[in-house]
Structure 1
Amino acid sequence: MRRADFLELLTLAALWGASFLFIRVAAPPFGPVVLIALRLAIASCFLVPLLAMRGKLGALRLHWPHLLVLGVLNAAIPLCLFAYAELTLTAGFTSVLNAAAPLFASIVAFVWLGDRMSSLRVLGIVIGFIGVIVLVGGSSLIDARQGGVAVVAALLATVLYGVANSYTKRFLTGVSPLAVATGSLLAATIVLAPLAFWLWPTQTPAGSVWLHVIGLGTACTGIAYILFFRLVANVGPTRAASVSFLIPVFGVLWGILFLGERLSVNMAIGCAVILLGTSLAAGVLAPRKKPDANARGALNGKDSLLRSGR
């Protein structure tokens, strides 16, 4: 990987990690649904013109039913659940919970698609869930009011990411990743728009909060997806997928630097164990024996990044 590509990878991880920071600040005054609707609308304004310039708008018309379902499973519901969770949980804590998404993706792919589950991947899933138990069980946040509900909401979001990942493989394999990302985000925007209008806060949030919304939609979603597709083109989907392991690092870091959050011992241990389990479950640490295994890993990498942008 060239130095420029590595810097883009770090930038992408920093942007997606920062999304938890922006949500933590903007979710309380806007409410989860309104905030996510604004985020998706701003991101769509970035991606639709890009898709048009590449002459691939026709894919949206051709695959719109599946893109609509994917938009609900991969964006509308899980992002709202994460925004709800961050009404209670810290940005860093939530970003670590998000790292458990590949664990559920492996389980759903095994049940739904019949993907092979090697002993190493099973071990990874077990280790990953032990990490979640360590993270949640040792946190004082869970003792707070609504803390347990917030954790369940965040974990449910990761389950939906797993379902969305298998749905993409089942119904959208071969479709341009940019078209899948653009169409699903646009569909999620349309789904949330009526709810956002109904739930719009009676008191308009301050201008400083709007800056976080704009940053969330432009930098953490629109620009981040453009960076992602550059990386896929330059280094391949498998290497680009490694960004998902850096997101919680930046999520915790930004929370500490800008929100005064604390990195507890159980959070550090839980994060490390979750990432270890996730890397095993996703096949990142698995030995490569055959060329076709690499091809499968590339496909998994491409699909997994559609759910990494938080």
Structure 2
Amino acid sequence: MTHPARHAQWPALAAAAVTVVLWASAFVSIRSAGEAYSPGALALGRLLAGSLALGCVLLIRREGLPPRAAWPGIAVSGLLWFGVYMVVLNWGEQQVDAGTAAMVVNIGPVLIALLGARLLGEGLPPRLVAGMAVSFAGAVVVGLSMSGEGGASTLGVLLCLVAAVGYAGGVVAQKPALAHASALQVTAFGCLVGAVACLPFAGQLVRQAADAPVSATLNMVYLGVFPTALAFTTWAYALARTTAGRMGATTYAVPALVVLMSWLALDEVPGLLTLAGGALCLAGVAVSRSRGRGALRPGRVAEPVRERS
């Protein structure tokens, strides 16, 4: 007999799917915008566009400030994920090839699972561990197949490592905040915190926007509105309804989608090794999201707040 709780999981799964598709599309836009904008300027422009879009939605929905209890998580996630992660990742991808960056940054979901178990008491179910191992192996295969000659530098690898740590810390900090505020509030004010943290790059943004081609600026705005404003909100919605570890494992679908999108949009035909790695990523996500017979829903996580109308 189908349990009603399983039907309730579908909105969260749909939200997670929207997130990974939009985050995958971001790689194509970053490639274009990154040719005209420096790492800090690109991050600031993206966050300003995202904050504006989210602010408009907040006004339409008449949602005010988050409760005081949500602010520590919002502030930490805003600084680490919206601020540090975006700047450092943009910088790191200028120092290493895309394959190396993908391999290093993809330790993020592993760190999320470990931090979630340690700080949030989520535990490490065997299926989650097995699925993440398979997906990480797939990410390594994709990264190796995409790595160029001499494309790695010590600085670039360290920057990507810092990005992974910032990403993991931001997700784990965001999870408790979602027990007190809506997904929209947590995302909007986290994005705003990140934008404020990136204000030192405002001069670069103004100078570079004057000379940047229209396509690069449009890609920066796209990054702010869709992979940031929309995708981070759907991420928060799904995160409020499952564990941080499971959500982190879901992002291993991103490398596979990037391969597919590059094939369709950029006519970059992937090799057999790349396709095999992408298949491993997706297989690992399927394993990590599955539950054994009699498994309980993640009842130990905080119940999501009701979205305000």
Given that residues 31 and 201 in structure 1 are in contact (C-alpha distance below 8 angstroms), is that contact kept between their aligned partners in structure 2?
A: no
Per mean C-alpha deviation after superposition, the further-off stretch among 208-217 and 117-126 is: 117-126
Q: Distance between the aligned counterparts of 1:275 and 1:152, measured in 2?
A: 27
Q: Distance between the aligned counterparts of 1:10 and 1:46, measured in 2?
A: 21
Q: C-alpha displacement at 1:172, in angstroms?
A: 4.9
Whether 1:124 aligns to 2:128 is: no
Given that residues 86 and 150 in structure 1 are in contact (C-alpha distance below 8 angstroms), is that contact kept between their aligned partners in structure 2?
A: yes
Q: Distance between the aligned counterparts of 1:14 and 1:166, measured in 2?
A: 22
Structure 1 pair 267/84, CA: closer, same or farther in 2 (3 Å)?
A: farther
**Structure 2 length-normalised TM:** 0.74
Query: Match for residue 117 of structure 2?
Result: 110
Structure 1 pair 10/278, CA: closer, same or farther in 2 (3 Å)?
A: closer
Amino acid of the residue matched to residue 138 of structure 2? G
Q: 1:58 aligns with which of 55, 60, 65?
A: 65
Q: C-alpha displacement at 1:284, in angstroms?
A: 0.7
Whether 1:34 aligns to 2:28 is: no
**Structure 1 length-normalised TM:** 0.74
Given that residues 93 and 101 in structure 2 are in contact (C-alpha distance below 8 angstroms), is that contact kept between their aligned partners in structure 1?
A: yes
Whether 1:168 aligns to 2:174 is: yes
Whether 1:45 aligns to 2:52 is: yes
Q: C-alpha displacement at 1:258, in angstroms?
A: 3.8
Given that residues 95 and 252 in structure 1 are in contact (C-alpha distance below 8 angstroms), is that contact kept between their aligned partners in structure 2?
A: no
Given that residues 20 and 251 in structure 1 are in contact (C-alpha distance below 8 angstroms), is that contact kept between their aligned partners in structure 2?
A: yes
Amino acid of the residue matched to residue 83 of structure 1? N
Q: Distance between the aligned counterparts of 2:151 and 2:41, measured in 1?
A: 23
Whether 1:287 aligns to 2:284 is: no
Equivalent residues, number: 291
Given that residues 92 and 248 in structure 1 are in contact (C-alpha distance below 8 angstroms), is that contact kept between their aligned partners in structure 2?
A: no
Q: Distance between the aligned counterparts of 1:129 and 1:16, measured in 2?
A: 18
Identity of aligned residues (%): 23
Given that residues 120 and 286 in structure 1 are in contact (C-alpha distance below 8 angstroms), is that contact kept between their aligned partners in structure 2?
A: yes
Query: Match for residue 185 of structure 1?
Result: 191
Amino acid of the residue matched to residue 184 of structure 1? G
Given that residues 252 and 263 in structure 1 are in contact (C-alpha distance below 8 angstroms), is that contact kept between their aligned partners in structure 2?
A: yes
Structure 1 pair 216/271, CA: closer, same or farther in 2 (3 Å)?
A: same
User: What RMSD over aligned residues (CA atoms) do the two structures have, in Å?
Assistant: 4.0
Given that residues 14 and 247 in structure 1 are in contact (C-alpha distance below 8 angstroms), is that contact kept between their aligned partners in structure 2?
A: yes
Structure 1 pair 259/97, CA: closer, same or farther in 2 (3 Å)?
A: farther
Q: 1:21 aligns with which of 28, 53, 61?
A: 28
Q: C-alpha displacement at 1:85, in angstroms?
A: 3.6
Q: Distance between the aligned counterparts of 1:127 and 1:230, measured in 2?
A: 25
What secondary structure sits across from 1:286 in the alignment?
A: coil
Amino acid of the residue matched to residue 290 of structure 2? L
Q: Distance between the aligned counterparts of 2:66 and 2:25, measured in 1?
A: 31
Per mean C-alpha deviation after superposition, the further-off stretch among 186-195 and 58-67 is: 58-67
Structure 1 pair 287/97, CA: closer, same or farther in 2 (3 Å)?
A: farther
Given that residues 20 and 92 in structure 1 are in contact (C-alpha distance below 8 angstroms), is that contact kept between their aligned partners in structure 2?
A: no
Unaligned runs of 5+ in 2: 1-6, 305-309
What secondary structure sits across from 2:268 in the alignment?
A: coil
Q: C-alpha displacement at 1:205, in angstroms?
A: 1.1
Q: Between Structure 1 and Structure 2, which shows a larger proportion of helix residues?
A: 1
Structure 1 pair 90/215, CA: closer, same or farther in 2 (3 Å)?
A: farther
Q: Deviations over 1:272-306 (max 9, x none)?
A: 334444554xx412325254x2445797xx8xxxx
Q: Distance between the aligned counterparts of 2:88 and 2:122, measured in 1?
A: 28
What secondary structure sits across from 1:116 in the alignment?
A: coil
Q: Distance between the aligned counterparts of 1:171 and 1:30, measured in 2?
A: 32
Structure 1 pair 19/51, CA: closer, same or farther in 2 (3 Å)?
A: same
Structure 1 pair 135/118, CA: closer, same or farther in 2 (3 Å)?
A: same
